[in-house]
């Protein structure tokens, strides 16, 4: 859907959505409830799901994410990504927000809200360092953002994640607290864990999407590919999202139910983080004249976080029952329903962007 030609009224927009899209917020809440209920009521389900791993990667979560990301990445017109790389304002702004401002803001929030809870504080800082490489595609697509820009920005974030995550972890957990006279946290993050996360959660669906687009258009043409094939596989992105949510919350249902007040303490700074980073990014993109589509992509890329990596790193470093791991789990508990709401905020904000006349 082109944001400059879409109906202005919310009712008209909703009428064009499928039943799955129209009530997605409800389905997500149901999936969260089902997952939490399974984790709470079915003895041993969390341990059973957690045991299905290869090289430290949860196969149930990986399956859901791959099913979720493949249809979205199959929609990307890879031959048009060059124009995104040429947009220096977008590239530079995204790097600054994602790797300078957002982690620093999460560090500040963690110390403001969780100064007396070092495990949760550390977990929150780790969440801030894990830039999103998965669910951002869903939010960006629902909000009619620029798919090609999303693919490029996520690829760049992935490269930075592999090489910068450990260094930034050392900076925010040891060096900066030492400078400020605050408590330090010793942690050594696994380079292998970070690299595998990027390769599995982005590399596999990216290659599959690229090959599908290239071979599909070559065999049947773009009109068939985009008019017939993509609509058939499109719903699987949301099926994968819902499956992932059920599995994720089933894994941690016991921990969340056992510490509801702690979950609330962790949730408050996350709520502030997502809303502020998204809002600031939208304002910055609007001020730089990036246009609605790329501004929306910038905002969702900045406001989303790679909870899969944050949880994996926390578990590998501090243990599956640690407070750091619980903080990682609370991330999607807040992020998923909130960013669905921000999709509607983004769509509403289109009227504040100038209409660009297509050549």
Domain map (residue ranges) of the chain: 23-52+87-189+245-352
More confident residue, 272 or 241: 272
Farthest CA pair distance, the chain = 63
3-state secondary structure of 34: helix
180 falls in which pLDDT band (50, 70, 90)? very high
Q: Report how far residue 219's alpha carbon sits from residue 228's, in angstroms, rounded to the nearest whole number.
A: 13
Give the tokens for residue 287. 């001020």
* pTM for this prediction: 0.79
Give the tokens for residue 134. 């998965």
Beta bridge partners of 53: 58
Q: What percent of the chain has pLDDT over 90?
A: 32
Beta bridge partners of 305: 131
**C-alpha angle with apex 31: 311 to 205, nearest 5 degrees?**
55
Q: What is the pLDDT of residues 280-328, one digit of tens each?
A: 999 999 999 999 999 999 999 999 887 777 877 777 777 766 788 888 8
pLDDT at residue 201, rounded to an integer: 73
Q: What is the pLDDT of residues 72-126, one digit of tens each?
A: 788 888 887 788 888 899 999 999 999 999 999 999 999 999 999 999 999 999 9
Looking at the domain that runs over 23-52+87-189+245-352, which CATH code has it been given?
Answer: 1.20.1530.20
Q: Report how far residue 69's alpha carbon sits from residue 49's, in angstroms, rounded to the nearest whole number.
A: 21
Q: Report how far residue 62's alpha carbon sits from residue 64's, in angstroms, rounded to the nearest whole number.
A: 5
Q: Report how far residue 358's alpha carbon sits from residue 194's, in angstroms, rounded to the nearest whole number.
A: 41
Q: Report how far residue 324's alpha carbon sits from residue 322's, in angstroms, rounded to the nearest whole number.
A: 5
Report phi then psi at 358, rounded to 5. Answer: -75, 135
Angle between helices 102-113 and 260-288 (to 10 degrees): 150
> Do you know the residue count of the chain?
359
Per-position b or e across 8-18, b if 16+ CB within 10 A of its CB: eeeeebeeeee
Most confident of 16-20, 30-34, 60-64, 284-288: 284-288
**Taken in order 320, 35, 66, 152, is the CA torsion positive or negative?**
negative
């Amino acid at each position: 859907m082109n944001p400059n030609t879409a109906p202005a009224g919310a009712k008209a927009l909703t009428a064009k959505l499928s039943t799955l899209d129209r009530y997605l917020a409800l389905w997500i809440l149901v999936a969260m409830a089902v997952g939490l209920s399974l984790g709470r009521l079915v003895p041993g389900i969390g341990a059973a799901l957690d045991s299905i791993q290869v090289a430290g990667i949860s196969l149930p979560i990986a399956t859901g994410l791959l099913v979720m990301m493949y249809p979205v990445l199959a929609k990307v017109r890879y031959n048009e990504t060059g124009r995104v790389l040429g947009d220096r304002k977008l590239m530079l702004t995204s790097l600054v927000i994602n790797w300078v401002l957002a982690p620093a803001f999460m560090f500040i929030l963690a110390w403001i809200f969780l100064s007396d809870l070092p495990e949760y504080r550390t977990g929150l800082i780790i969440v801030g360092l894990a830039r999103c490489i998965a669910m951002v595609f869903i939010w960006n697509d629902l909000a009619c953002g620029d798919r090609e820009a999303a693919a490029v920005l996520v690829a760049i974030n992935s490269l930075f994640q592999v090489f910068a995550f450990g260094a930034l972890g050392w900076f925010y957990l040891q060096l900066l607290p030492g400078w400020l006279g605050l408590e330090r946290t010793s942690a050594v993050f696994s380079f292998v864990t970070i690299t595998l996360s990027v390769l599995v959660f982005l590399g596999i669906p990216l290659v599959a999407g690229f090959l599908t687009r290239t071979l599909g258009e070559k065999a049947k043409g773009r009109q068939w590919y985009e008019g017939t094939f993509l609509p058939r596989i499109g719903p699987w992105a949301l099926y994968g999202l819902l499956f992932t949510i059920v599995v994720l919350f089933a894994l941690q249902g016991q921990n969340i139910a056992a510490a509801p007040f702690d979950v609330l303490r962790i949730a408050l700074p996350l709520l502030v983080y997502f809303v502020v980073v998204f809002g600031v990014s939208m304002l910055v993109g609007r001020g730089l004249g990036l246009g609605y589509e790329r501004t929306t992509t910038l905002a969702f890329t900045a406001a989303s976080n790679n909870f899969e990596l944050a949880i994996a790193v926390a578990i590998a470093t501090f243990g599956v029952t640690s407070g750091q791991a619980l903080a990682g789990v609370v991330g999607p508990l807040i992020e998923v329903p909130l960013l669905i709401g921000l999709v509607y905020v983004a769509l509403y904000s289109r009227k504040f962007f100038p209409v660009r006349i297509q050549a």
